[in-house]
Structure 1
Amino acid sequence: MHAIEGLIKLINMWEIQPLVLLSFTLQIFLFFTGSLRQHSASMFLRLSIWAAYLGADFVAVYTLGLVSRHEDITIEGHIPGKTQSLAFFWAPFLLIHLGGQDTITAFAMEDNNLWLRHLLNLVVQAVLAIYVFWKSIGRHRVELLVSGVFLFVVGVIKYGERIWSLKCGCFKSLESGSGHRYKKLPDLECEEDTGQESNSKVSTDGGYDSIVYIALSSMPHVHDIFSGRGYFSIADFPARSMLDDNKEAIKMVSIILSVMFSDFYTKALVVRRRSAIILRCISQMSAVVAFAVFHENDKQRYRKIDIAITYSLFVGCFLLELCAMFISMMSPWTWAWLKVRKWDRLARLSWFIFSSNIGWPEEKQCFQKSMGQYIFSSWVTGSGQARTFNQRVMTMVKWLADLVRVERKNIFWISKLLDTEYVDVDEMTMDCVAKEISQLRHVGGPIKSGRDWPNLLGERADFGAAIVLFHVLTDKHLSRYPPSHPPDMEEFGMMEVCRKLSNYMMYLLATHPSLLPLNVSAEAMLDHLQDPQILHEDLLQDLEPSKEAVEELVQVWARLLIYAAGKSRGEMHTALLSSGGEFITFVWLLMALYDLGDFQWKRIRLTNAAFIDHRVEELFAFPVPAAIPPEEASSSKAHG
């Protein structure tokens, strides 16, 4: 019995130390990995960040609760006053941890919408920290309590920054706000064009820095696009000059998406504001004062391990602040701010960091470089080679399901998880889609073909059914190209683009159906279409394998993607940015900059063909009486 009591006492004595170190470790992990998810589709990385994000708050709150009921326990011969614990001093450090890191404030849009809950949590945890200090009055030296008060100021400011960032990142704030959250930058003027600098314009060399600067200058208009105000926004904005060059447009949209990710899911938007900079300076000075007072304080009465942990927390806090300052120097906004004020040396330093491999180099796409792939035809027919470990696991699952006579439909959800793979969004794919957007903007004409594409795609009652049918037909058509006689490199590249777009649209239908303009449940429709007999027809059998045929299919898939993107809403894409954004987000924003889409000036419909599905009856909420022909009207007047 005495042994159990001693063990419980020992656990109570040393329970807080490992939890405090765990909380600090989670903060370090989140700082260095928080922004990686916008560049990677790794499920393991996202799961790790998600677990650390949830665990960091839980550990900090739980540990602060332990500290509030912790009593100083003597350990050396149980002599009162011989040694004391520094656990009370860690309460403000836990508040700092709850304030989070600059690289991640929210894991998903739902976290931003819960900013009021975090505000309430700040009040509760701050009161708890004050209670801890009140309980420690008289037990510890005044200097130590003063140091803790300065740390408490740091914790409140850091947590306040996080709540401020969450509020600014929620979609309601985006809708109610205006583009004034992005200060308008002066017009751009290239030195190579003018040969001299202007007082009212910022000079660059007309290269990558021009693209970055114009992207930042266009952010007020981009804000209107994401908030659904694009229809009412001024059509002329700086990015117009870049849209005629597909490569420059792709780079510009990539930068814009990365900026939007930072503003929604990190502290980037808040720390750019003057008031936040002042508060951060107060926070940093308070941390320095707290460390100086603690260092000069007599600490002989405290345990050495507690002193070592406290110094580690101080040093870690300072190092993370230095890294945060480095990240702020890497921000394109910092470079533009320095450039506008003609602080050339600092601007060059900021640009060097920004354009290096650790920043946003020109050759690296800032948004996620992968697109999901799901091959529905392989699931239905059971054909296809397992290329990844997950797909090999799925093959085993299907074999076991057949063995125990489980219907395939019941394990389809497992297939959507395991059979999905990710491939790079190559330059040719992006260029093909950008060309189709540009063609629709300038011409809007049909695809050059003798085939009746409008009726082929439009005769289905639902857009999703058309995707499934055309996905299966495309897979059949591409399988007709003999592997023994490989096509030339350009044709092979177009085949890969066709396959990627087909599989990507199928991936969206299977995993993100809310992004597509569907009339019926995607789940029910995919269940219905899993019967191979339903997909037996081959409407592309008369399309002979050729380079022209592949280019034609690529055009069709690109326009299907464009049509779906034009129907989507900004709210969907802000949520997708939490994981780096989907390729359809890139297409949607590029279209919006062209004023294309349902919420812009130029709206895209699937087809103007007059086809009728006799299974579907169309009714009108406000029917308009048919107009009377002029000859009948005159005749009726004559008789009247």
Structure 2
Amino acid sequence: MESFVKVFNEFEIQLLVLLSFTLQLFLFFAGNLRRSSSNRLLRLSLWAAYLGADLAAVYALGYLSRHQQTQQLVFFWAPFLLIHLGGQDTITAFALEDNNLWLRHLLNLVTQVTLALYVFWKSIGRHNNTELLISGTFAFVAGMIKYGERTWSLKFGSITSLESSAAHRYRKEPPQGTASDVAPFVGDALESMPSVLDAFSKRTLREPLRGFVNTIDDCDQMIRMVRLQLGMMYDDLYTKAPVLRTRTGVILRCISEASVIVAFALFHVSEKQRYSKADIAITYSLFVGCFFLDVCSMFIPMMSPWTWAWLKAHKCHALARLSLFVFYCDIGYPKMKLRWPNSVGQYNFHSWRLSTDSDLQPRTCTQHIMILLRKLFVDLFRVEQKKLFWLSKILDTEFTDVDIMILEGVAEELTDLLSSELDNAKEWTHMAALLSWLQGHFVLDFGMGIIRMHYVTETYLRKYASDSDMKANAGLMEVCRKLSEYMMYLLVTHPSILPLSISAEAALDGFRTLEQADMYSAGLDPSKETLEELARMWTRLLLYAAGKSHPGMHAALLSGGGELITFAWLLMVHYGVGNSGIIEIQLTNKDLAQQVNLGRFYAFCVPPEQQSDPFFGKQRARNPVTGG
């Protein structure tokens, strides 16, 4: 052990520099994966690498400033540590909060640059090698530029920058006719990005977004355009894309890359015999790694439709074709794989009730684990079950692929809401009784209504899972289950995005009476029409929740692979529906006084004869329907 510690102490700085470089490689390639992935292991690894990369580089700079380096080459690595602190083009912020702390990063920039200068200043008198010192100076310039790019990008993505008139970054419109080379939705997406930024900045839009009317009748084009815009917003919030779209950013990037090339040339011709071969090899590795990442980084801006439009405007046809190729390939914004969102979270209330309902049996490994842990903590240590809710969030939450039927259903349901001029209460021929019962629960608390409807849906789907007629509609059954479990997932993991009156834990803990839910689920007949109405009910609940959600939450959720509710929210923004638009969406038309108001849609219109629900009537005096 003593020998191991001795060897580690001898090569500590070498190991730290290699660790810092390895983490940068991981961040570059893995950082681009999270844009369309909600994988927990990937997110945890990125979080550890994001924090560890800065920690390793800062610690290594501190090490260099404390130790005397007379014969070693390690002083030359200080600029590379600044380059590493500058981060990668694919990930500047792990979460939206990192952007809001850009001033702290600016302070770190000043501190670490000063520290690196101090390391160089100490080494000037000990290393009489002009080429090496000049080479380090050029590398130092590249390091300061890289670190400055990261701080600048964080400032661009901060809430303060978004809420200020920062939309000028999009004000230059793409040239007319460029969209015809790819698809109409690309040009519409680019033209309406200033308004999309306004929506994310919590500014109320007074009219539908520009350019969207061209694709309003094409569901596939609508979906692709909204997904593309979510991808571009992710780039602006969590990568260096907004900096690299500016003239100053491009010039600084060219200076940085030219400085690295000059630094490498001077280092290669300099006298290096006095230094150890291991240190020389590490230095060459740092240069090669820097070149490799810079070359790969050149393709990042080429993936953006902004680059393609800019090249078309400036008649750079060869580069525009290259940008178009990268745009279409799998590493960019593939036309057939615009994965926003790529997956949806799933949470089944069945898992939470396993320990209290003896009629339910565990179906998965995580459910068996939850039962064992509950028995251990609740029975042995006398811990209240509701205090284990955090554990259920981790073990009982799963992710599944987004069904294209869900995305099309969201777009079609919103179109139906906008195009409907008459009372659509008669449409709910199979769900009228269930809707009449649930409306009171939704008014009392949206979360309680979600839980009850989820329970009814799960009971209904399990009851008729083996029915021959229902098997023919397996796709619809899967859509209903995914939407039901997704709304439960939002309730338990992202409750702040829903219009709740009480906490998710309190709503789950308060769900005790199942007789009425069983009765209403038994009243649903096994038919395709019932499944279609059930899917529509869940879709409208999703639209209602999206319309009431806060734009800042959607900006934060983009860092985790995107959410279905964010897709629904931005789609509604295009139509001017929701709190960010000019048309308010309410849950029901139960309060007849609200029907005289203009500019309002109802997710559910209940016939007057069904508005005398006994449960709701008892609560009417204290809980009038206010639309959420």
By the TM > 0.5 criterion, same fold?
Answer: yes
Q: Note closer, same or farther for the CA distance 1:280–1:384 as it changes in structure 2 (3 Å cut).
A: farther
User: Which string of whole-angstrom CA distances, capped at 9 and with x for unpartnered residues, describes residues 371-393 of structure 1?
Assistant: 01111134224666756543443
Q: Which residue of 2 aligns with 1:172?
A: 160
Alignment map for 1:339-354 (pairs within 5 Å): 339-354=312-327
Alignment map for 1:150-189 (pairs within 5 Å): 150-186=138-174, 188-189=176-177
Q: Note closer, same or farther for the CA distance 1:423–1:290 as it changes in structure 2 (3 Å cut).
A: same
Between the aligned partners of 1:23 and 1:471, the Cα distance in structure 2 is: 47
Alignment map for 1:367-516 (pairs within 5 Å): 367-380=340-353, 381=357, 389-398=365-374, 400=376, 404=380, 407-443=384-420, 445-447=423-425, 448-450=427-429, 451-452=432-433, 455-460=436-441, 461-483=444-466, 485=468, 487=470, 489=472, 491-516=473-498
User: Quick check: 1:459–1:613 contact (8 Å CA) kept in 2?
Assistant: no
Alignment map for 1:90-169 (pairs within 5 Å): 90-140=77-127, 141-169=129-157
Between the aligned partners of 2:360 and 2:213, the Cα distance in structure 1 is: 44
Q: Note closer, same or farther for the CA distance 1:455–1:92 as it changes in structure 2 (3 Å cut).
A: same
Q: Does 1:607 align with 2:607?
A: no
Q: Note closer, same or farther for the CA distance 1:601–1:145 as it changes in structure 2 (3 Å cut).
A: same
User: Quick check: 2:175–2:309 contact (8 Å CA) kept in 1?
Assistant: no
Q: Which residue of 2 aligns with 1:22?
A: 19
The structure with the larger Rg is 1
Letter in 2 for 1:510: V
Q: Which residue of 1 aligns with 2:50?
A: 53
Q: Note closer, same or farther for the CA distance 1:89–1:387 as it changes in structure 2 (3 Å cut).
A: farther
User: Which string of whole-angstrom CA distances, capped at 9 and with x for unpartnered residues, describes residues 554-601 of structure 1?
Assistant: 111111111000000111100000112111000000011011102211
Q: CA deviation at 1:167?
A: 0.4
Q: Which residue of 1 aligns with 2:261?
A: 288
Q: Does 1:552 align with 2:533?
A: yes
Q: CA deviation at 1:358?
A: 2.3
Between the aligned partners of 1:583 and 1:203, the Cα distance in structure 2 is: 27
SS of residue matched to 1:360: coil
Q: Note closer, same or farther for the CA distance 1:545–1:511 as it changes in structure 2 (3 Å cut).
A: same
SS of residue matched to 2:463: coil
Between the aligned partners of 2:514 and 2:377, the Cα distance in structure 1 is: 21
Q: CA deviation at 1:165?
A: 0.2
Q: CA deviation at 1:230?
A: 3.6
User: Quick check: 1:219–1:256 contact (8 Å CA) kept in 2?
Assistant: yes
User: Quick check: 2:308–2:324 contact (8 Å CA) kept in 1?
Assistant: yes
User: Quick check: 2:470–2:526 contact (8 Å CA) kept in 1?
Assistant: no
Q: Does 1:573 align with 2:570?
A: no
Q: Note closer, same or farther for the CA distance 1:324–1:616 as it changes in structure 2 (3 Å cut).
A: farther
User: Quick check: 2:189–2:228 contact (8 Å CA) kept in 1?
Assistant: yes
Q: Percent of pairs identical after alignment? A: 54
Mean alpha-carbon deviation: is it higher for 302-311 or for 324-333?
A: 324-333
User: Quick check: 2:83–2:144 contact (8 Å CA) kept in 1?
Assistant: yes
Unaligned runs of 5+ in 2: 592-615
The total of aligned residue pairs comes to 590
User: Which string of whole-angstrom CA distances, capped at 9 and with x for unpartnered residues, describes residues 421-473 of structure 1?
Assistant: 11111111111121111111121643502415653232121111111111111
Q: Which residue of 2 aligns with 1:194?
A: none
Q: Note closer, same or farther for the CA distance 1:357–1:614 as it changes in structure 2 (3 Å cut).
A: closer
Q: Which residue of 2 aligns with 1:617?
A: 622
Between the aligned partners of 2:465 and 2:515, the Cα distance in structure 1 is: 27
Q: Which residue of 1 aligns with 2:524?
A: 543
Q: Does 1:338 align with 2:314?
A: no
Alignment map for 1:25-40 (pairs within 5 Å): 25-40=22-37
Between the aligned partners of 1:422 and 1:263, the Cα distance in structure 2 is: 26
Q: CA deviation at 1:520?
A: 1.6
Between the aligned partners of 1:97 and 1:383, the Cα distance in structure 2 is: 57
TM-score, normalised to structure 1, is 0.87
Q: Note closer, same or farther for the CA distance 1:132–1:348 as it changes in structure 2 (3 Å cut).
A: same
Letter in 2 for 1:155: G
SS of residue matched to 1:139: coil
SS of residue matched to 2:213: helix
Alignment map for 1:222-261 (pairs within 5 Å): 222-232=196-206, 234-235=207-208, 237-261=210-234
Q: CA deviation at 1:148?
A: 1.1
Between the aligned partners of 2:346 and 2:4, the Cα distance in structure 1 is: 54
Q: Does 1:218 align with 2:192?
A: yes
TM-score, normalised to structure 2, is 0.89
SS of residue matched to 1:204: helix
User: Quick check: 1:469–1:535 contact (8 Å CA) kept in 2?
Assistant: no
SS of residue matched to 1:605: strand
Unaligned runs of 5+ in 1: 74-83, 190-201, 621-640
User: Which string of whole-angstrom CA distances, capped at 9 and with x for unpartnered residues, describes residues 527-553 of structure 1?
Assistant: 222x36577653233221111111111
- RMSD, aligned α-carbons: 2.4
Between the aligned partners of 2:329 and 2:296, the Cα distance in structure 1 is: 16
Q: Does 1:303 align with 2:276?
A: yes
Between the aligned partners of 1:185 and 1:383, the Cα distance in structure 2 is: 62
